[in-house]
């Protein structure tokens, strides 16, 4: 698997789970570490981007705590690992087994809601919005006009983890649309544009309005979920994914 050039100073690896690399004047900043892979493959990933950039990877920024984005952190144990405090807590609580012979690597630089990383004329803005999970964050590079959205964007029916909030997810998508960008790198799947975000936002707003209406009419959970389920959209990852995320959005309705 090879990194693909997205812009002059941005590369991405589409390896089932997407990993992005921004080339800054004195370092490479990786967004997400990637899923569990054989060590030889992960070492090659790091070597490849360092050779393309002629710079070492010194920083890794995590979009959220799920293992497919954080499992390969041991290959970046010498780097500054930036994450939200929520992400760090989730990662700690998950107590996942690390690769045999590799250290447990935890975030080293934490932020609550946002953080900026500036080097020369390049600025990376990191914002925690929630949505897919309550620690979901995006990274925006205005110079490269690239947004790295993590799993708030991926093809198919949106799927959210335990802390998924429909309201926060909607606000995150609305925020993406305000950014001056050309390219969106989702958590999984090919590059996206704002058209995809608009389409997803329209769907989520429809689900929100439907649930809101049912709730205000005093309908039962079963009725609310059935009404939301009737709104057609893209195919879910698995048959369980759709009812699962709708239930989470309903249960987390108050988390606004
Ligand atoms: Zn993922």
Domain boundaries defined on the chain: 4-199
Q: How far is the CA of 241 from the centre of ligand 1 (A)?
A: 14
Between 3.30.70.20, 3.60.15.10, 2.130.10.10, 3.90.190.20, what CATH number should domain 4-199 receive?
A: 3.60.15.10
Higher per-residue confidence, 195 vs 34: 195
Q: How far is the CA of 202 from the centre of ligand 1 (A)?
A: 22
- The pLDDT, as a whole number, for residue 39 is 85
Residue 135: pLDDT over 90:
yes
At 256, the pLDDT band (50, 70, 90 cuts) reads low
DSSP 233: -
Residue 100: pLDDT over 80:
yes
- The pLDDT, as a whole number, for residue 217 is 96
Q: Is 121 within 8 Å of 162 (Cβ atoms)? A: no
The mean of the pLDDT values for the chain is 95
Q: Tell me the C-alpha distance between 206 and 212, whole Å.
A: 10
Q: Specify the DSSP element, H or E, that contains 127.
A: strand 122-128
Q: Is 188 within 8 Å of 158 (Cβ atoms)? A: no
Q: How far is the CA of 243 from the centre of ligand 1 (A)?
A: 19
Q: How far is the CA of 25 from the centre of ligand 1 (A)?
A: 29
Q: How far is the CA of 209 from the centre of ligand 1 (A)?
A: 27
At 102, the pLDDT band (50, 70, 90 cuts) reads confident
Contacts of residue 238, Cβ cutoff 8 Å, sequence gap at least 6: none
Q: Is 205 within 8 Å of 171 (Cβ atoms)? A: no
At 56, the pLDDT band (50, 70, 90 cuts) reads very high
Q: How far is the CA of 17 from the centre of ligand 1 (A)?
A: 6
Q: Residue with structure tokens 């935890």?
A: 106
- The pLDDT, as a whole number, for residue 255 is 65
């Amino acid at each position: 698997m090879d990194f693909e050039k997205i812009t002059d100073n941005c590369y991405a690896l589409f390896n089932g789970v997407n990993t992005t690399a921004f080339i800054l004047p004195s370092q490479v900043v990786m967004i997400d570490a990637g899923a569990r892979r054989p060590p030889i493959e992960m070492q090659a990933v790091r070597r490849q981007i360092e050779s393309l950039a002629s710079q070492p990877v010194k920083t890794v920024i995590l979009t959220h705590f799920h293992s497919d984005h954080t499992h390969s952190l041991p290959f970046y144990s010498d780097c500054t690992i930036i994450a939200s405090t929520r992400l760090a807590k989730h990662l700690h609580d998950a107590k996942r087994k690390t690769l045999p012979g590799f250290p447990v690597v935890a975030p080293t630089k934490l932020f609550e809601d946002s953080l900026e990383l500036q080097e020369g004329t390049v600025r990376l803005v990191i914002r925690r919005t929630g949505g897919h999970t309550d620690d979901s964050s995006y990274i925006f590079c205005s110079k490269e006009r690239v947004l790295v959205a993590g799993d708030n964007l991926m093809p198919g029916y949106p799927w959210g983890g335990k802390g998924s909030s429909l309201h926060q997810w909607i606000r995150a998508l609305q925020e993406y649309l305000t950014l001056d960008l050309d390219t969106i790198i989702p958590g999984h799947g090919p590059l996206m544009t704002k058209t995809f975000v608009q389409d997803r936002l329209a769907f989520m707003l429809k689900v929100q309005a439907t649930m809101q209406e049912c709730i205000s009419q005093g309908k039962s959970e079963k009725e609310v979920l059935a009404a939301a389920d009737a709104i057609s959209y893209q195919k879910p990852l698995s048959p369980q994914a759709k009812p699962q995320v709708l239930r989470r959005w309903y249960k987390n309705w108050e988390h606004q």
